[in-house]
Structure 1
Amino acid sequence: MEQIKNEKNAKIVLDMIQAIHENAAYLSEVDGATGDGDHGVNMNKGFLMAKERINEEMSFSDALKILGRTLVMDIGGSMGPIYGTFFNRLSKVICKNDIVDKYVLAQALNNATEGLMDLAGAKVGDKTLIDTVYPAKEAFQKAVNQNEDFATCLEILSDAAEEGKENTKNMVAKIGRAARLGERSKGFLDAGATSCCIILKTMAASMIAELNETK
């Protein structure tokens, strides 16, 4: 089938939470090169708080909403509102649908990316998570337009997220603490782009697994 159910699919969000938990030390290590070195700690704290409030019987959209709300209310800093907005904007589109297909997800990703760019004031090339999410959602939309099947679209999303994250090594930071380093921020991954890559790749893998189960 070319779709998954919204109902009782919180597992996708729980998979994302687990991925952040497993990569918390790595994310802080990445952040330490150009920032405070606490990105993984803060992300892990917020995501694990959300995990306590989510169960697998919840819908995909409800779990996204809880994760988003938890990050905004309980983790604070700069990444709390940023990721909170991202997950809330995904949820707002998905909650209107009983099923999630490639068209629904494309709309949700576009809505979430717009929200991120408005909130963060960042654009592609600023060395932020936008450099992961924007090319990923663009690649996904292109695959949808070319009538690729849902699983293929998700694989393309995953590959584009990885490429976008890696490209931040070649960028000079223009926003956030890393911007203070100027040219010295070059040669290092952006921590937000890295965590965003983990989230998008995990979401894609989890949705592909769900698609395979419903065949």
Structure 2
Amino acid sequence: MTVTREAVEQWIRAYADAIAEHEQALTQLDMAIGDGDHGANMQRGFQAVLSRMSSVAEGDVGALFRMVGMTLLSTVGGTSGPLYGTLFLQMALQTQGKRELKPEELEAALRAGLDGIIARGKASPGDKTMIDALKPAHDALRQALHQKASLGEALRRAEEAARAGRDATIALVARKGRASYLGERSAGHQDPGATSAHLLMECAARTWM
């Protein structure tokens, strides 16, 4: 199974809908350990993405990802804009000129995006960030594809890994971002970035099942 450019657009639209649905929940999570604006920032960014979809209607997957990344960089405040913007811009570099993606090309794009976030945010697994959801998701996707699982099954495993990573952030003490200022008091709270990252993988699994 390949992922067409149209299917990638469906994924982005599904994620925008999920962000809108969970905006208040993301904000409440961020109010506990951050600036309290993660939901609102992500909602503003992805509504801007939706408004610009027509500008890349004839473009390839890379052009679509590039538009998403640039839009998030220019409209989303805090750390979310630079990190999610980097994710999509790095995925754009891996997919430029492609109208559809083989499963291994999708995995490579996600890996590039993850590497970009790690380089920009200087975070590692266990720091209580979006990395704690995205890295397990990528690792599960890569392993499943290596085992010759279907793309749908591989994405299901990736979503499960992202969910487990998200939930694991509750017990962690934050070592990066605004939450790190709280020290031990950041433990006991689910990380909002890991939560929005899980939603990204959940939407991929649901869209491409």
Query: What is the TM-score with the length of structure 1 in the denominator?
Result: 0.91
Question: Given that residues 10 and 62 in structure 1 are in contact (C-alpha distance below 8 angstroms), is that contact kept between their aligned partners in structure 2?
Answer: no
Provide the rounded CA distance (Å) in 2 between the counterparts of 1:114 and 1:83: 12
Q: CA RMSD of the aligned region, Å?
A: 1.6
Question: Given that residues 166 and 189 in structure 1 are in contact (C-alpha distance below 8 angstroms), is that contact kept between their aligned partners in structure 2?
Answer: yes
Deviations along 1:153-210, one digit per CA (max 9) or x if unpaired, are 11111111111100101110001111111111111100111111111211221122xx
1:190 partner letter: D
The corresponding residue for 1:155 is 156
The corresponding residue for 2:202 is 201
- CA 1:38–1:7: 2 relative to 1, 3 Å: closer
The residue correspondences of 1:124-143 to structure 2 (distance < 5 A) are 124-143=125-144
Moved more, 134-143 or 60-69: 60-69
Residue 145 of structure 2 corresponds to residue 144 of structure 1: yes
Moved more, 11-20 or 105-114: 11-20
Residue segments in structure 2 that go unaligned for 5+ positions in a row: none
Instruction: Name the SS for the 2:53 alignment partner.
Output: coil
Residue 57 of structure 1 deviates from its aligned partner by 4.0
The corresponding residue for 1:166 is 167
Instruction: Name the SS for the 1:125 alignment partner.
Output: coil
Instruction: Provide the aligned length of Structure 1 versus Structure 2.
Output: 207
Query: What is the TM-score with the length of structure 2 in the denominator?
Result: 0.93
Instruction: Name the SS for the 2:208 alignment partner.
Output: helix
Instruction: Name the SS for the 1:164 alignment partner.
Output: helix
Question: Given that residues 135 and 161 in structure 1 are in contact (C-alpha distance below 8 angstroms), is that contact kept between their aligned partners in structure 2?
Answer: yes
Instruction: Name the SS for the 2:3 alignment partner.
Output: strand
Residue 61 of structure 1 deviates from its aligned partner by 3.4
The residue correspondences of 1:62-81 to structure 2 (distance < 5 A) are 62-81=63-82
Question: Given that residues 65 and 92 in structure 2 are in contact (C-alpha distance below 8 angstroms), is that contact kept between their aligned partners in structure 1?
Answer: yes
Question: Given that residues 13 and 64 in structure 1 are in contact (C-alpha distance below 8 angstroms), is that contact kept between their aligned partners in structure 2?
Answer: no
Provide the rounded CA distance (Å) in 1 between the counterparts of 2:141 and 2:19: 22
- CA 1:162–1:9: 2 relative to 1, 3 Å: closer
Tell me the percent identity: 32
- CA 1:8–1:138: 2 relative to 1, 3 Å: closer
